[in-house]
Amino acid sequence: MSDLNKLTIAQARDGLTKGDFTSVELTEACLSSMSAKKELNAFITETPEIALERAEASDERRATGNTASAMDGVPVAIKDLFCTEGVLTTAASHILDGYTPVYESSVSDNLRNDGAVMLGKANLDEFAMGSANVTSFYGNVINPWKAEDGKDLVPGGSSGGSAAAVSGDLCLAATGTDTGGSIRQPASFCGIVGLKPTYGRCSRWGIVAFASSLDQAGPMTKTVRDAAIMLQSMAGHDPKDSTSAPVELPDFEAALTGEVKGLRVGIPKEYRVEGMPAEIEKLWRQGAEWLKDSGAEIVDISLPHTKYALPAYYIVAPAEASANLARYDGVRYGLRVDGESIDDMYMNTRGEGFGKEVQRRVMIGTYVLSAGYYDAYYRKAQQIRTLIAKDFTDAYDQVDVILTPTAPSAAFPVGENQDDPLAMYLNDVFTVPASLAGIPGISVPAGLSENGLPLGLQLLGKSFDEETVLRAAGVMETAAAFSAKPGL
């Protein structure tokens, strides 16, 4: 059987169960697709030996009736922000040169224990800081979708390698992480599904930390059903992460009933931002129509502090990053650039090891936390965060889910927005508020732009109510019937 790499997780599960093909065949199809599409630069490290070894083990389990889960034998990419035992882990940074963890992150361990096959480590923005995957020390990731003039487009970020790999059928699915939109925005840019679960749903243990109060892992997949299946494996309480929620996991796939009758869907007026392209506004209205036609009730709502989410995020996230990234000191792991004194060594190492965007954010964070400025910036941003979270709590008195666009544009050409950090930050204007509030959100491919590029719609839910988010997303996916594929 050819084109096994193009399957969804659900199709692979069914085919493996029926014995139509083996995990080794599935894995080989993905590995050859990876080789054929190297120009996307979706992977920092490929792990074909590990992949085939785990695929063989999966086939053996299946032969003896010991299949571990729905993910058993399914080949996936792991964002190179997850520590993987014995496999180079870089966070796309020069400063982690040669870092080979002696342990496995909880999320990738969950997948591994469930039988998923790791194909390699996906490229990303350095330390997950970026919205276009142009800050990786290992080079830009290229979106499998092309501009009309054939120009290379960015895949979004920071989980750009994961998104490109799923979109280009290099793998069946991938892990991502989302701090301010890093799963949802690249999913939108690449025409795939990206789910950021509730903060605390997936363990952060063993994930290279960016902003600890915001970071959350989630699945990046070809369909909403696949997101449900993969989340089931990734999520769960982990005593090793004190912010991991000690709650039982529901059956996420069972939530996909295809039924939204009576569901109240909020449309927040503050998301109609100035300068938003008409085609995105139109698609947003279309999304609401789809849900309404399926029996949902559309409710106009207000999230009054939306405008302040992005600036508050660009205080909170850099502040936490400056603390988290203090650990890269040239002593314990990665790069060391010698110096005459210990301070010299620190400064040389961090000056050479961190890229420009990471340096900028660490310095902003250092400044807003410094004596005399803490209250004016950091405390103020934390107070705004309270107000933003309250906006959502109030809205959920009236509605069950909230529908918004995922990003204010389609994928843009490599090189655009590069010299203007603020323009780049605006990519996350619709995704950041949910990150600050810790609520779950999903991006579903919903249509094409005038230039033939994918556009996503975002559904946000209540804390720990991924089930309703997935249910509504499933209905929207069916209605959108998005079937376009990238030209590569």
Partner 1 sequence: MSLDKATVKNIAFLARIRVPEEDLEPLAGELNNILDWVEQLGEVDTEGVEPMASVSNVTLPLREDAVTGGGQTEKVLANAPEAEKGFYTVPKVVE
User: Do residues 411 and 156 make contact, with C-beta atoms less than 8 angstroms apart?
Assistant: yes
| Site residues (CB under 8 A) for partner 1, limited to 334-353 | 334-336, 338-348, 350-352
Rounded to a whole number of angstroms, the minimum distance from the CB of residue 45 to partner 1 is 16
In terms of Cα–Cα distance, which of 192, 165, 161 is closest to 177? 161
Bridge partners of 391, per DSSP, are: none
Query: Among residues 308, 408, 468, 488, which is the contact residue for partner 1, using CB under 8 A?
Result: 308
Query: Among residues 8, 32, 69, 213, which is the contact residue for partner 1, using CB under 8 A?
Result: 213
Shorter beta-carbon distance to partner 1: residue 239 or 295:
239
Number of helices and strands in the chain (H, E): 15, 11
Site mask for partner 1 (CB under 8 A), range 93-132, x = bound: -----xxxxx------------------------------
Q: How many CA atoms lie within 13 A of 79 on its CB side?
A: 34
Rounded to a whole number of angstroms, the minimum distance from the CB of residue 369 to partner 1 is 9
Q: How many other C-beta atoms are found inside a 10 Å radius of the C-beta of residue 302?
A: 14
Site mask for partner 1 (CB under 8 A), range 382-421, x = bound: xxxxxx-x-------------------------------x
Q: Is 305 in the site for partner 1 (CB under 8 A)?
A: yes
With tokens 């080989």, the residue in question is 28
Query: Among residues 380, 416, 452, 488, which is the contact residue for partner 1, using CB under 8 A?
Result: 380
Q: Give CA separation, 158 vs 83, 124, 134, 188, 384, in Å.
A: 17, 5, 9, 12, 25
What is the residue type of 162? Answer: S
Shorter beta-carbon distance to partner 1: residue 277 or 421:
421
Site mask for partner 1 (CB under 8 A), range 232-251, x = bound: -------x--xx-xx-----
User: Do residues 103 and 83 make contact, with C-beta atoms less than 8 angstroms apart?
Assistant: yes
Query: Among residues 6, 61, 264, 360, which is the contact residue for partner 1, using CB under 8 A?
Result: 360
Catalytic residues: 79, 158, 182
Q: Is 460 in the site for partner 1 (CB under 8 A)?
A: no
What is the residue type of 155? Answer: P
Q: List, in order, residues 6 or more apart from 333 with CB less than 8 Å away.
A: 96, 99
In terms of Cα–Cα distance, which of 474, 461, 478 is closest to 255? 474
Query: Among residues 111, 362, 401, 424, which is the contact residue for partner 1, using CB under 8 A?
Result: 362
- Cα-based angle 103, 316, 81 (whole degrees, multiple of 5): 25
Rounded to a whole number of angstroms, the minimum distance from the CB of residue 419 to partner 1 is 10
Rounded to a whole number of angstroms, the minimum distance from the CB of residue 242 to partner 1 is 5
Q: How many other C-beta atoms are found inside a 10 Å radius of the C-beta of residue 278?
A: 8
**What token pair was written down for 121?**
């480590």
What is the residue type of 239? Answer: P
Q: Is 468 in the site for partner 1 (CB under 8 A)?
A: no
Q: Is 423 in the site for partner 1 (CB under 8 A)?
A: no
Residue numbers at the binding site for partner 1 (CB under 8 A): 98-102, 199-200, 213, 239, 242-243, 245-246, 305, 307-308, 311-312, 314-315, 322, 329-336, 338-348, 350-352, 354, 359-360, 362-367, 370, 377, 379-387, 389, 421-422, 437-438, 463
